[in-house]
Structures are given as structure tokens and as C-alpha cells.
Amino acid sequence: MTHTHQHHECSETMRSFLKALPKCEHHVHLEGTLEPELLFSLAKRNNITLPDHFPKSKAELTERYNNFSDLQDFLNFYYIGCAVLLSEDDFFDLAWSYFERVAVNDGLAHSEAFFDPQSHTERGIDISVVIKGFKRACVKAEKELGISTKLIMCLLRHLPNEHGLQTIDQAKEFIVNGDIHALGLDSAEKPFPPELFAECYAKVKELNPEINLTAHGGEEGDHTYVSNSLDLLKTTRVDHGVNSVQSEELLKRLSEERVLLSVCPMSNIKLQVFQNIHEIPLNTFLEFDVPFSLNSDDPAYFGGYILDNYVAVHENFGFKLPVWEKIVKNSIHGSWCHQERKDEMLAQLAKVMEEYSTLLE
Ligand SMILES: Nc1ncnc2[nH]cnc12
Ligand SMILES: [Zn+2]
């Protein structure tokens, strides 16, 4: 079988359409928004000595970020980056600079953002310092930037279940009061299948029956990581999930149960999950009517924020306007905000479609 692949130019008008769409981000790690510049300035402010082998300049570091061999190679840098974050203000500054940037440059409407408390509590930082800093940025973003926000606490799957349970206990107050809107699961996927964390997921649900559940799966792991997240962790969303394409039965299930996959196109290329964006199975997902959103994952490490990911998908797939409308509609419906907020975004979407339908025929 021969595959010809066409490059689709992203015109200025197309770009402004993609920017104007009321986009929802469901897969961004706040620690993954740590730009090299902020990393070096926080290291200085906090007197943190970076490891000897760590690149010494912004240019060198950016260059190294262009050459990740896989997920683990990236994670090694990501966890070193985390080490410059100490005070509540550091966490606030990190999240605020992300919210401000995506509100202004990208036209982001709604952000459901991950954070990894264990990468901070392991260094002796109190979990409330992390959560209060991030939460303060969320409140300010809602008020001053008009974007709605949710925080998703992730457990690190390379650490044992017991460490996860301990983290849940430390975060109890914020799980109960709703500041933590959902639970997620991230870090090295493959030797750590979802079933290892079933107890953690059950515990969080017991503390707050209203809480939402998601987990990374099917990024490097196979399709069973996706189905087992649904069956054993009771998640209603799966992060990445691109390897779902290996099972037709699973694709049908995702469509039927309206399970959203939070796909991260540029991340998939930078971590060599796929060699080219056009290999990401978006057309299969569309064909099976599997809902997905497009996301940035760790934008400071992968060279692009959410709008860059939309543009990259446009350039590789050349989707027509009705397909973009469907992608954004599915992103809104799959969000964990209340119905009134969804209605606002749907109204905004209708306005944008109307405005651009004649411009982009
Ligand atoms: N893409 C990703 N997969 C797993 N763990 C992560 N932590 C940050 N980004 C991640
Ligand atoms: Zn991720």
C-alpha cells in the first residue's frame, strides 16, 4: 500500500480561525509548562544547583529538548526541572505564566491542568504549598483572563501504590473541598499497568464521590492499558489513548460510552510515539466517532502550546471546517465544567463558525 501525504498550508485566516475557536485543554502538565528561562531564573532565586550534566544555557537546553529518544528520556529532564520549584509563589508563577500565555496567544477557553504532587513532596515540600500556589493562579485566571480552570492531581505510576495512598491522604482536604477536581495517573507507563493503582482510585472516589477520574494510557502501553483504565480504575477519560487504534472493539466502546481521548500531537512526535503527525490515528477516531481533544502535554519541553498543536494538525490533515467544529464540540462536551459554561463555549463556537464559514470555503 502506498501512502501519499500532502502538506496543507495554514493561511493567516485559517490560523486566526483556529485561534478564535473556544478551545479546551484536557492534557497539560503544569510542571511541563516550565520554560527554560523560568527554570534557570527559579534555580537562581532558590539557590538550586542543577546536576553537572545539565545544559548550562537556555539555547543548549532548548536544543536538548529537541532530541528526546522516548518518554523516559524526557521524564528525566522533567523531574530535574521540578526541583527548582519550592515556594507557593513558585507554583503560582509557573501556572500563572501558562494561563496568561495561552489566554493571550492561543485563545484558550478552558483548561483542565495536571500536576504531580509526589515530585514535590518527595523533596520535602508540603502538598498544601503546591496546591495553594496552583489554585491561586486558577482563581486569578478565571477572574482576569476569563478562562475556566480545573486541577487534576496525578499520581506517579513509577512509585508504589502505598506512596499514592499516602499522597491521597495528604491531599484529603482538597479532594473533599473540590479544589482537586479529578485524579489522574502519569509518568513511565509501560512496566506500570493501571491495575496497580485500583486501590488509590477507589479511595479517592470514596473521599469524594463527585470526583472525576482519568489516567494516561495507550501512549507507550498497548490498548489493554486503555481498556483496563476504564474497567479497573473506572476512569471516564483516557489521556493519550492513541494505541486504542489496535482494537476495533475498544474503538466502538470509546465511541458508545463517549470516552474522550486527550491526544497530544506534538508530544507524540517529540517522544517518538509516531514519526510524523499524519500517522496519529485521528482519521480512524473520526471514522469510529471516538471523541478526542487536541492538547499540548508539556509545551515548554515539546516546542508548542495548544494553538501550535491545532496548527500542526491542520497542516498534516487539512481538516475542513465541519471537522474542526466536531473536534471542538467533542472537546467542550468532554470537559468537566458545568453545563452553563459548556453552553457559553458552544455559543462562542457557533459564532466563530458563522464568522469564518464564508472566509474559509
Ligand atoms: N506525556 C506524559 N506521559 C507520561 N507522564 C508524563 N508526565 C508529563 N508528561 C507525561
Ligand atoms: Zn501527559
70 marked among binding-site residues: no
Query: In whole angstroms, what is the distance from residue 14 CA to residue 236 CA?
Result: 32
| Residue nearest ligand 1's atom 7 by CA | 187
Q: For residue 186, give the ligand nearest its CA.
A: 1
Q: Tell me what pLDDT residue 312 has.
A: 98
Residues within 5 Å of ion ligand 2, judged at the Cβ atom: 297
**Digitized pLDDT (tens) for each residue of the chain, 361 residues in all:** 446 789 999 999 999 999 999 999 999 999 999 999 999 999 999 999 999 999 999 999 999 999 999 999 999 999 999 999 999 999 999 999 999 999 999 999 999 999 999 999 999 999 999 999 999 999 999 999 999 999 999 999 999 999 999 999 999 999 999 999 999 999 999 999 999 999 999 999 999 999 999 999 999 999 999 999 999 999 999 999 999 999 999 999 999 999 999 999 999 999 999 999 999 999 999 999 999 999 999 999 999 999 999 999 999 999 999 999 999 999 999 999 999 999 999 999 999 999 999 999 7
120 marked among binding-site residues: no
305: CA distance to ligand 2 center in Å?
13
Q: Tell me what pLDDT residue 361 has.
A: 78
| Beta carbons of 117 and 167 less than 8 angstroms apart | yes
| Residue nearest ligand 1's atom 4 by CA | 187
Q: What's the pTM?
A: 0.98
Fold exhibited by the domain 12-357: TIM Barrel (3.20.20)
Q: Tell me what pLDDT residue 107 has.
A: 98
Q: Tell me what pLDDT residue 3 has.
A: 60
Interface confidence, given as ipTM, is: 0.97
222 marked among binding-site residues: no
Segments making up each domain of the chain, as ranges? 12-357
